[in-house]
Structure 1
Amino acid sequence: MLFSFNNIRLRGKMLIVYTLSVFIPIVVTNIVFYQVTTHHVKQQKTNDMSKAMEQIRNDFLAQIDVAVGISSVLYTDNLLNDAMEKTYESATEYVDAYYSEISPTLYRYTPIYKAIQNISIYTSNNSIIGGGGMLPITSEVRNQLWYQEAMSMPGSQPIVIRNETETYKGPEITYTVARRLNYNKYQNFRNKVLKIDISLDTVSSLFQNTTLQGHLYLINPAGRIDFTNDPDLGWKSKDVSFDSIAIPSGTLVFNQYFNNVDYLRGWRIEGLFPEDEVLKDVHRSRNFVLYLAIPILVVPTLVIIWFTSSLNVRIVRILKHMKKVRNHHFETINQDQYRDEIGQLTNEFNRMTLQIGSLIDDVYLADIERKDLEIKRNQAQLHALQSQINPHFLFNALETIRMRSLLKKEQETAKIIHNMAKIFRKSLSWDHDWVYVREELELINCFLEIQKYRFGDKLEYKLHIDEEAYGCIIPKMAVLPFVENASIHGIEPLKEQGLIDLSIRVCGDKLITTIKDNGLGIEEEHLNEIRRSLETEESIGDHVGIRNAYYRLKLNYREQFKFELDSSRDQGTIVTIELPCHRYREPDQQL
């Protein structure tokens, strides 16, 4: 069976729409955004650390360059070199030369460059008195590493080395720039070595960068640590190799080299930084992305849930009521009037349910009424059959009397007997429930002729019938009971002449019948009682014919007929019946 979205319930469809259109795009977008942001932040942080390391390298190089620059000036100073090469005959001669030629040059730079702690020149000229920056080369000096390194360098290339210098405060660590002063071969008869000391505080201030949360190491060409801001390493009292340091996992390593500088070749700066500290900003950006993603995800989710509930709950309610309709429970949906499609669907469902329920009620009621009418008709026929004693015998007897009256030339008596036989025969025959107005008028004429025969001139009657009315059909004996009631209850009690006026006319699609008499009329109280009994189906005493005729009309026409009964004491009675005008007849069927 092929997959179809039409087989998925609405809640499932909304879940699929939410997952594909909201959840997955938001999650993917935030993941991509987090990855990109993390990469950029990490890259930026790495660049910042690299720049900070580079800045430390450049600052350290600048301090060394200052010392090397001073050494170059002194290296090429002919007056200074001549003064150091000269053999002095007396101390006075040297002192004069010192203050005039050596001291101004030697101490010219110390006040300017605060990083320069001391400038000294060591010489093998025994005529120079040691002091004031001019010191003799002793065996102790020859044993020092800085001196050996400087003397071993070819030419006059400067060297940079960490050194421990004795001061009035005790031994202090300095960073020494040393070089041989052998610029002019004519001034190179004695050994002369320049030593420029840079203070530890100067170097320490360069490495105390507050933006770098880690340890920095200044490493010499031999791989030993000459400076670090790690207080637990103990590098001042012993030689510590950088390779001997255990680097924890999750540590970021940065380095800066001095390979492009001859006198610092092999030197480097190493930086060890905990990854957590470095990526703190990355984690902060991750939290920001997470906090941003939560409302972006939660708000659409709540909106989708609210929207889905608005649809699903109401549609499920409609479905439940439709299932109730299937089980013949025609209940409407009680809710506020909404203007959306589901609200309109609910309103139409309620309207349809009410119409179906009403139609079913009407069909059931009509069927019950039809069956009740059928039962009553059968009962009437049964009563008629039970009450008659051999109707053929009665018809034959009446016909014999009529024939004898004719033989005796009693025409009027024969006519009355004929009318009685016709009424008797019609009242006992119920082959059809519906008759033409023409047939109903034949019975009415027979009845009025008999009454005229009985009362003579006391009774007069008039018939006003439209030609179109003869072809209309009405329930059998729908009019005769009202004519009979007018004669018996209206005219018979009169002492003077009475008049019955019967009018049947067609107005559009309506058949209007009016029975009017000038008899005694009906008291208002009794008239109201008759009207009320017709509405409530109560017994109304002697007016059984009126009640039966009224109910038969109501059963056949329901709400399509109108019945009016007007009467005043001593003013007569008017009965008006308005029926639909039908011009065909279907036996034993309601219209």
Structure 2
Amino acid sequence: MKLIHRIKQNLHLDDIRLRNKFFMMYILCVFIPIILTNVIFYNLMSSNVQEQRMVDIKLSLDQVHLELERMIEAAVSVSWVFYTDYTLYSMLDAHYSNPADFVEAYDNYMRRVINSYTPVYTSVQNIKIYVDNPMVLHSGGVAFLSNKVRDTDWYKTLDLRTPSEAIFVKAYKEDSISSGRTEQFKDTFNIIRVMDYFDSLGTWDKVLKIELKTEAFDVILGNLNIPGSVYLVDPDGIIQYTTNRNINWREEQLAIDSLHTGSHTVVFEGEHYDMLPLQGWNIVAHVPESQIMHEAPEVRQYVLWIAITNILLATIIIVIISRSVTKRLGFLLRQMKRVKNGNFDIVNNRDALDEIGQVTSEFNRMTLQISSLINDVYVADIKEKNMELEHRYAQLNALQSQINPHFLFNALETIRMRSMMKNETETAKIIHNMAKIFRSSLTWKRDKVKLKEEVDFIVCFLEIQKYRFADRLDYSIELDPEAERCLVPKMIYLPFVENACIHGVEKVKQGGKVTISLKLVEDKLHFHIHDNGAGMNEEQVQRIYSYLEETKDLGERIGMQNVIYRLKLFYEDQFTFTVQSEQGVGTSIHLIIPVNH
């Protein structure tokens, strides 16, 4: 949970560029949904196509089932006509004195009856009645019921029949060979039944055999809507007919369950026939999966084109809209940066009515207002600031002039010349040091000097004070060589040296010492001065600190308050000033200012 919370804290949409946001929105809201939708749509369509194809095959199998049933029913109907024909029974059971009588009876009735049904029922190839009446001649539609016929498989199936039942059987077709031998092979399907409807008319056995056309089975079972192999299976599961050319169904007895279908074959099985004579028979179809899914590539191509069209259309629309947003916002952002750099040109784009257009209009209005304010207010304020700055410089020079009156320099030069004339060398040296201090104060054009020059002024001042106090004053100066060229405000340290000598050491009868240290530390100039003089109480120290808070004009006040005021003018709040003092022990002052080389 902590990791998730941390990720949420670090992940802000506001930190993502607008172009990337549009790209994320496109990927998450357009591309991925379109892909997922089309994948789901493809799976659904493929499943529907497969299911519909299986339904179509099942319907075609049912149609084959029904057509075969109709064909057999038609043949059974024909058999019922012969089975119930009293005249036919009379003719077959009659006693003929000579063959001519049978031929006459055959021509008058039998030929007409048989020939009237064979052309009408296209599925019927031949109609033949077997009778053991020796006086009936072998002729078209009539044959002698010999022992050889009784030994055939199809005849033996009559033993399994029920009374008046017609039987559907695959029988041997009899062809005569020139040698007089008869060869039998499986070829035809037949409807056979014992003609015993009028048993009282005679004692001769009669069997009706209606031979069906094999081509009719080819037409029915070879349904083009079933793209596989179709099998006609008897009640024992033996294949009696198939459209599979790899199986010799005429001469072999193969069980449907013995066929190796494989994992990529779908088995369709129709309902078992419950009508006579097809009771127990069934139609089975083996269809490869590739035939069921042969329309899948078309579906896939169709879905793919839909996906490509949707993606391209959505991409074009989003690119146009995103460019309308990002391009104008980018131009507006660049214009804002130019305004930041002082270029106040307005945006000359068309006045659009959307939010970006409104922002652009407000930006132009703001730019014109800023330009007007700069011209009307800022320029005037600059003039005022320049006047104030000149006033500050004048005040600074006035403060300096309070310490360094010009006429003193001329007077000191006169006194030094007189001392030299009288050979008063020591006095002349002191006066020379004093003159150097005053001469430097006359340089009005420079408000900053090198630290080395400032130290020289301090040395001059200390030499004068040492001449004044004699052995009561001693001093030492430690100057960092790297800090000699740093620029500092002119005479910024001298008032501290003056206070250390006059207000500190002056009250000490002997052993007065002033120690000065100037060091450069990390681009900061550290000034430290210590004296072992009279020191100050807490109230005096706090009064010095109060100078840091005063901002009013000093007028004619000089000294330490003058220095602090000048430091504030130069460095504002970028300097550090600390005072440590104890009465009877001495005073330490630490001043840190930024380096200005």
Asked if structure 2 preserves the Cα contact closer than 8 Å seen for 1:165 and 1:174, the reply is: yes
- The verdict on how the C-alpha distance between 1:258 and 1:80 changes in structure 2, with shifts beyond 3 A counting, is farther
CA–CA separation in structure 2 for the residues paired with 1:242 and 1:380: 123
- The verdict on how the C-alpha distance between 1:61 and 1:28 changes in structure 2, with shifts beyond 3 A counting, is same
Paired AA for residue 128 in structure 1: V
Which of 134, 140, 165 in structure 2 is aligned with 1:132? 140
1:72, CA displacement in angstroms? 0.9
Which of 117, 136, 148 in structure 2 is aligned with 1:109? 117
Aligned to 1:299: 313
Aligned to 1:150: 158
Paired AA for residue 53 in structure 1: L
- Secondary structure, in 3 states, of the residue corresponding to 1:44? helix
Q: Mean Cα displacement is larger for which, 89-98 or 64-73?
A: 89-98
Paired AA for residue 174 in structure 1: T
Report matched runs for 1:119-518 at 5 Å: 119-167=127-175, 173-187=187-201, 189-319=203-333, 322=336, 330=343, 336-339=349-352, 340-353=354-367, 355-356=369-370, 359-360=373-374, 365-370=379-384, 373=387
Give yes or no for the alignment of 1:45 onto 2:72: no
1:200, CA displacement in angstroms? 1.2
1:349, CA displacement in angstroms? 2.7
Count of matched residue positions in the alignment of Structure 1 and Structure 2: 383
Paired AA for residue 275 in structure 2: V
Asked if structure 2 preserves the Cα contact closer than 8 Å seen for 1:177 and 1:196, the reply is: yes
Asked if structure 2 preserves the Cα contact closer than 8 Å seen for 1:10 and 1:312, the reply is: yes
- The verdict on how the C-alpha distance between 1:216 and 1:348 changes in structure 2, with shifts beyond 3 A counting, is same
CA–CA separation in structure 2 for the residues paired with 1:17 and 1:375: 57
1:374, CA displacement in angstroms? 6.1
Asked if structure 1 preserves the Cα contact closer than 8 Å seen for 2:272 and 2:280, the reply is: yes
Instruction: Mark the runs of 5 or more structure 2 residues left unpaired by the alignment.
Output: 178-182, 402-597
Report matched runs for 1:521-540 at 5 Å: none
Q: Deviations over 1:430-482 (max 9, x none)?
A: xxxxxxxxxxxxxxxxxxxxxxxxxxxxxxxxxxxxxxxxxxxxxxxxxxxxx
CA–CA separation in structure 1 for the residues paired with 2:121 and 2:298: 43
- The verdict on how the C-alpha distance between 1:377 and 1:145 changes in structure 2, with shifts beyond 3 A counting, is closer
1:176, CA displacement in angstroms? 0.8
Paired AA for residue 218 in structure 1: L
CA–CA separation in structure 2 for the residues paired with 1:138 and 1:223: 32
Q: Mean Cα displacement is larger for which, 365-374 or 2-11?
A: 2-11
1:156, CA displacement in angstroms? 2.5
- The verdict on how the C-alpha distance between 1:66 and 1:325 changes in structure 2, with shifts beyond 3 A counting, is same
1:126, CA displacement in angstroms? 2.3
Paired AA for residue 119 in structure 1: I
Q: Mean Cα displacement is larger for which, 20-29 or 135-144?
A: 20-29
- The verdict on how the C-alpha distance between 1:333 and 1:274 changes in structure 2, with shifts beyond 3 A counting, is farther
Aligned to 1:419: none
Asked if structure 2 preserves the Cα contact closer than 8 Å seen for 1:151 and 1:180, the reply is: no
1:276, CA displacement in angstroms? 2.1
CA–CA separation in structure 2 for the residues paired with 1:377 and 1:33: 84
Asked if structure 2 preserves the Cα contact closer than 8 Å seen for 1:150 and 1:193, the reply is: no
1:134, CA displacement in angstroms? 1.9
Q: Deviations over 1:48-100 (max 9, x none)?
A: 22222222222222221221111111111112112222333432333333333
Paired AA for residue 286 in structure 2: L
CA–CA separation in structure 2 for the residues paired with 1:223 and 1:64: 19
Paired AA for residue 341 in structure 1: E
- Secondary structure, in 3 states, of the residue corresponding to 1:249? coil
Q: Deviations over 1:467-526 (max 9, x none)?
A: xxxxxxxxxxxxxxxxxxxxxxxxxxxxxxxxxxxxxxxxxxxxxxxxxxxxxxxxxxxx
CA–CA separation in structure 2 for the residues paired with 1:52 and 1:261: 20
CA–CA separation in structure 1 for the residues paired with 2:388 and 2:104: 161
Aligned to 1:118: 126
CA–CA separation in structure 1 for the residues paired with 2:203 and 2:161: 18
1:22, CA displacement in angstroms? 3.8
1:269, CA displacement in angstroms? 1.4
Report matched runs for 1:71-110 at 5 Å: 71-110=79-118
1:322, CA displacement in angstroms? 4.9
CA–CA separation in structure 2 for the residues paired with 1:265 and 1:35: 41
**% of aligned pairs identical?**
32
Asked if structure 1 preserves the Cα contact closer than 8 Å seen for 2:186 and 2:250, the reply is: no
Q: Deviations over 1:388-441 (max 9, x none)?
A: xxxxxxxxxxxxxxxxxxxxxxxxxxxxxxxxxxxxxxxxxxxxxxxxxxxxxx
- The verdict on how the C-alpha distance between 1:337 and 1:189 changes in structure 2, with shifts beyond 3 A counting, is same
Q: Deviations over 1:521-558 (max 9, x none)?
A: xxxxxxxxxxxxxxxxxxxxxxxxxxxxxxxxxxxxxx
1:178, CA displacement in angstroms? 0.6
Q: Mean Cα displacement is larger for which, 20-29 or 172-181?
A: 20-29
- The verdict on how the C-alpha distance between 1:184 and 1:9 changes in structure 2, with shifts beyond 3 A counting, is same
1:139, CA displacement in angstroms? 2.5
Paired AA for residue 197 in structure 2: Y
- The verdict on how the C-alpha distance between 1:236 and 1:378 changes in structure 2, with shifts beyond 3 A counting, is closer
TM-score when scaled to structure 1? 0.57
Asked if structure 1 preserves the Cα contact closer than 8 Å seen for 2:232 and 2:240, the reply is: yes
- The verdict on how the C-alpha distance between 1:299 and 1:268 changes in structure 2, with shifts beyond 3 A counting, is same
1:246, CA displacement in angstroms? 1.5
